[in-house]
Amino acid sequence: MFAFKTSTLIKDNIVIKNEDDLKGTKGDFIFKVYAEKEKQNLLLSVMCETKSEQLNSHNKKKK
């Protein structure tokens, strides 16, 4: 999957954790931008967390 010819948007499946951590963490997607179409030189990498909540939800609503 790609957004532009020099970028990729992939699902993050790698769990990262420290030695002392019981559970690890991972992002939802990783967006990478490369210098050229061959994707040899990475310019930028961003981890994206996606959340969704209904606007009229009673959960997590400030009072």
pLDDT per residue, tens digit, the chain (63 aa), is: 555 889 998 888 878 788 888 887 777 899 999 999 899 999 999 988 877 777 676 665 555
Please answer whether residues 12 and 26 qualify as being in contact, where contact means their C-beta atoms are separated by less than 8 angstroms: yes
Residue 1 lies in a domain: no
The pLDDT of residue 49: 82
Query: Strand, helix or coil at 9?
Result: strand
Domain count, the chain: 1
17-48 burial, b if ≥16 CB within 10 A, otherwise e?
Answer: eeeeeeeeeebeebbbebeeeeeeeeeeeeee
pTM over 0.75: no
Residue 61 lies in a domain: no
The pLDDT of residue 58: 66
Query: 21: which 2 tokens?
Result: 């951590």
The pLDDT of residue 33: 93
Residue 38 lies in a domain: yes
The pLDDT of residue 50: 79
